[in-house]
């Protein structure tokens, strides 16, 4: 099936074309939904078969290239449309199509009755198509194609309800914000690609990475390449300073948030860093920057998440925070832990988003958690699955998030040092707190909604079944990556599966210092579990029984509370520092002065001068034929006169 991997990419494209071109005529939501979901479902099956085939191969043959055709061949640049089927890309494509399929199915229920139903499914399929190109491409250009493709689709999907009111303006503005901020990151990514081509004379992954191991290239070059690539990753994966688009991107329909902002697109940056691990490993300084930015983003976003009231906003900041963890892992050289967290995060965060969607659906588009409460008895399935996801993200022992997060914390301790671990562990505690604040305010405690207007109800099974599947995955998903300390001989399955990909990078980094004992690992694990559990307990206690504590806290630390509530005023700072100067500069300097005054002045001035001159000249044109004749005769006479004179 490896050689037919392109089918997994073409099928969603076919779904996009069918729904996009004929969706309006098909009308039946069921057929449109089935086309949209099944194409992705088949894509998943193909990826799964390719995975099974790959896993049956000997370890050194598990990386296969499927070349389709030559895309560009100009001068020295030769770019093939090829797909690299290896452990990393298969893992990613399984996540993308698997979770993507569930979200498609869920969307059939969620988008029921929407006038753009067919359009929505067409966009979703196009998104999966782009994402599959991103993860499977065997060179930077195909990756970039997918990279831009998901950017476009996120724009289309965030702005899906383009005229719906959202905060200060409409969702279309949120879509634009996502698109523009991502462009900034893409600029960095492009620079990185140019530098790679300049240095290695190729953009093909295998060539670049093998040359990176053999050629001797200065560390500065590596640093610049890695830095530029990382700037691209900060845009796509919403890291400081380019994270501001993600919270606003919650303007789109909830399944979009689940698909784009949990399972797929935002992890593209992590995937890319992980794919280019050898380039990053060759630039230790940038690795440190990645780790610091990652952990700082994790902390920063988690603190904002503590006080938000919009259910999707909290999850959005939570996503940013979890992405920070992934970069922390990549930064300390634990690339497989980073991808492991991508996977588990895809399960529980998609579940959280879809659960939130289910709640929003049932609460008639109400998104403020202060207006929920006590939904437990109305929506038992959503409640239970949401609880599992919340426990998973908090790092409850035995659930998927526990394994992946703990691996990251462990590696950040042994490779990055105590401070990184401490910040990471503290963030984990905050995560547990804000997610259970959200959980308690939504499902537990007193009912705070208006019973006359709102009648909460459980969502249809087309929505709850994906929730249940994701809940199962959130529980068992972590067991592929049980840390060595528990599994003993077998070691970490996930890590050994991905190990060949990172082997060159890890050789450079000289990881796995054996000096650290398993006892220490268990102690650290114990500390983070205790932190998480106490945060969970505290959150539930405060937000169900004793809300005065929360109120007192927010009153006593009014300034801090407002700072967090207003998201550190980052958007305002951006507005003041970047957006407004550009706006004013564009309006006053570029438009009013340069364009309206100088350019228009020149153009209109020339026209006016010609107009003035011709105004005089046109007086000559009297319309009297005889005057014209006289001029002609006089002219002839003059010419004759001149001819005769010149003869003599």
Partner 1 sequence: MSSIPIEYYLILSAFMFIVGVTGVLIRRNAIVVFMCIELMLNSANLALVTFSSYIGNPIGQVFVFFVMTVAAAEAAVGLAIIIAIFRNKLTVNIDEINIFKW
Nearer to partner 1 by C-beta: 593 or 628? 628
Nearer to partner 1 by C-beta: 453 or 618? 618
Q: What is the SS3 assignment for 85?
A: strand
Nearer to partner 1 by C-beta: 602 or 610? 610
Nearer to partner 1 by C-beta: 519 or 621? 621
Could you write out the three-class secondary structure of 152-199?
HHHHHHHCCCCCCEECCEEHHHHHHHHHHHHHHHHHHHHHHHHHHHHH
The values of phi and psi at residue 168, to 5°, are -80, -25
Q: What is the SS3 assignment for 69?
A: strand
- For residues 102 and 90, what is the distance between their CA atoms, to the nearest angstrom? 18
Interacting residues toward partner 1 by CB under 8 A: 618, 621-626, 629-630, 633
Q: What is the SS3 assignment for 139?
A: strand
Q: Does residue 295 contact residue 420 with C-beta atoms inside 8 Å? A: yes
- For residues 15 and 35, what is the distance between their CA atoms, to the nearest angstrom? 6
Nearer to partner 1 by C-beta: 537 or 641? 641
Nearer to partner 1 by C-beta: 72 or 613? 613
Q: Which residues contact 441 (CB under 8 A, 6 or more apart)?
A: 369, 370, 372, 373, 543
Q: From the CB of 621, what's the least distance to partner 1, in Å?
A: 5
Determine the length of the chain.
Answer: 648
Nearer to partner 1 by C-beta: 56 or 621? 621
Q: From the CB of 608, what's the least distance to partner 1, in Å?
A: 18
Q: From the CB of 619, what's the least distance to partner 1, in Å?
A: 8
- Location of structure tokens 């060179």: 139
Q: From the CB of 178, what's the least distance to partner 1, in Å?
A: 58
- For residues 275 and 135, what is the distance between their CA atoms, to the nearest angstrom? 9
The values of phi and psi at residue 426, to 5°, are -60, -40
Q: Which residues contact 344 (CB under 8 A, 6 or more apart)?
A: 392, 400, 401, 403, 404, 474, 477, 478
Nearer to partner 1 by C-beta: 68 or 633? 633
Q: From the CB of 606, what's the least distance to partner 1, in Å?
A: 21
**Token pair of 535, please?**
């945060």
- For residues 619 and 616, what is the distance between their CA atoms, to the nearest angstrom? 6
Nearer to partner 1 by C-beta: 568 or 641? 641
Q: Does residue 449 contact residue 366 with C-beta atoms inside 8 Å? A: yes
Q: How crowded is the C-beta side of 569, counted as CA atoms within 13 Å?
A: 9
Q: Does residue 232 contact residue 186 with C-beta atoms inside 8 Å? A: yes
Q: From the CB of 645, what's the least distance to partner 1, in Å?
A: 19
**Token pair of 561, please?**
């509370």
Q: From the CB of 628, what's the least distance to partner 1, in Å?
A: 9
Q: From the CB of 603, what's the least distance to partner 1, in Å?
A: 24
- For residue 78, what are the β-bridge partners? 73
Q: From the CB of 615, what's the least distance to partner 1, in Å?
A: 10
Q: Which residues contact 365 (CB under 8 A, 6 or more apart)?
A: none
Nearer to partner 1 by C-beta: 446 or 626? 626
Q: From the CB of 623, what's the least distance to partner 1, in Å?
A: 3
């Amino acid at each position: 099936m490896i050689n037919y991997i392109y089918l997994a990419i073409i099928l969603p494209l076919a779904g996009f074309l069918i729904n996009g071109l004929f969706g309006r005529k098909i009308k039946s939501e069921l057929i449109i939904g089935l086309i949209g979901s099944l194409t992705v479902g088949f894509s998943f099956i193909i990826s799964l078969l390719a995975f099974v085939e790959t896993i049956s191969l000997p370890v050194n043959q598990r990386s296969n290239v499927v070349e389709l055709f030559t895309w560009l061949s100009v001068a020295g640049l030769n770019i093939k449309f090829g797909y690299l089927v290896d452990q990393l890309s298969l893992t990613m494509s399984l996540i993308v199509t698997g979770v993507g399929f569930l979200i498609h199915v869920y969307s059939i229920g969620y988008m029921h009755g929407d006038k753009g139903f067919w359009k929505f499914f067409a966009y979703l399929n196009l998104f999966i198509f782009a994402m599959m190109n991103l993860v499977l491409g065997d060179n930077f250009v195909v990756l970039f194609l997918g990279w831009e493709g998901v950017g476009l689709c996120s724009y289309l999907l965030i702005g899906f309800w383009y005229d719906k009111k959202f905060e200060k303006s409409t969702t279309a503005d949120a879509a634009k914000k996502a698109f523009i901020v991502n462009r900034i990151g893409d600029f960095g990514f492009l620079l990185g690609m140019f530098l790679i081509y300049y240095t290695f004379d190729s953009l093909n992954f295998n060539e670049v990475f093998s040359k990176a191991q053999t050629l001797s290239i200065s560390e500065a070059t590596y640093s610049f390449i890695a830095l530029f690539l990382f700037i691209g990753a900060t845009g796509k994966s919403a890291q400081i300073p380019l994270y501001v688009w993600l919270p606003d991107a919650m303007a789109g329909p909830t399944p979009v948030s689940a698909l784009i902002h949990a399972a797929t697109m935002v992890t593209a940056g992590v995937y890319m860093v992980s794919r280019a691990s050898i380039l990053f490993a060759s630039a230790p300084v940038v690795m440190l920057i990645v780790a610091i930015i990652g952990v700082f983003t994790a902390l920063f976003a988690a603190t904002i998440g503590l006080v938000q009231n919009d259910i999707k906003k909290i999850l959005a900041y939570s996503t940013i925070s979890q992405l920070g963890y992934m970069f922390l892992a990549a930064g300390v050289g634990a690339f497989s832990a980073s991808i492991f967290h991508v996977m588990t995060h895809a399960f529980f965060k998609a579940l959280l988003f879809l659960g939130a969607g289910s709640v929003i659906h049932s609460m008639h588009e109400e998104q403020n958690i202060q207006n929920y409460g006590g939904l437990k008895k109305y929506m038992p399935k959503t409640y239970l699955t949401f609880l599992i996801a919340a426990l998973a993200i908090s790092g409850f022992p035995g659930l998927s998030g526990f394994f992946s997060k703990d691996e990251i914390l462990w590696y950040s301790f042994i490779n990055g040092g105590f401070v990184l671990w401490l910040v990471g562990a503290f963030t984990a505690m905050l995560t547990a707190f804000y997610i259970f604040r959200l959980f308690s305010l939504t499902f537990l405690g007193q009912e705070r909604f208006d019973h006359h207007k709102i009648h909460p109800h459980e969502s249809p099974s087309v929505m709850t079944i994906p929730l249940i599947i994701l809940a199962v995955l959130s529980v068992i998903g972590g067991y592929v990556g049980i840390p060595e300390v528990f599994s003993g001989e077998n070691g970490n399955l996930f890590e050994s599966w991905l190990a060949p990909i990172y082997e060159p990078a890890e050789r450079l980094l000289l990881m796995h210092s054996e000096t650290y004992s398993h006892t220490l690992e268990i102690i650290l694990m114990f500390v983070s579990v205790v932190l998480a559990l106490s945060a969970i307990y505290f959150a539930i206690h405060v937000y169900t029984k004793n809300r005065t504590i929360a109120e007192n806290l927010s009153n006593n630390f009014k300034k801090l509370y407002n700072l967090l509530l207003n998201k550190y005023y980052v958007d305002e700072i951006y507005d003041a520092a970047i957006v407004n100067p550009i706006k004013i500069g564009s309006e006053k300097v570029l438009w009013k002065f340069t364009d309206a005054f100088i350019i228009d002045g020149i153009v209109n001035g020339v026209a006016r001068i010609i107009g003035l001159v011709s105004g005089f000249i046109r007086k000559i044109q009297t319309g009297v034929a005889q005057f014209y004749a006289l001029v002609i005769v006089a002219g002839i006479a003059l010419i004759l006169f001149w001819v005769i004179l010149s003869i003599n």
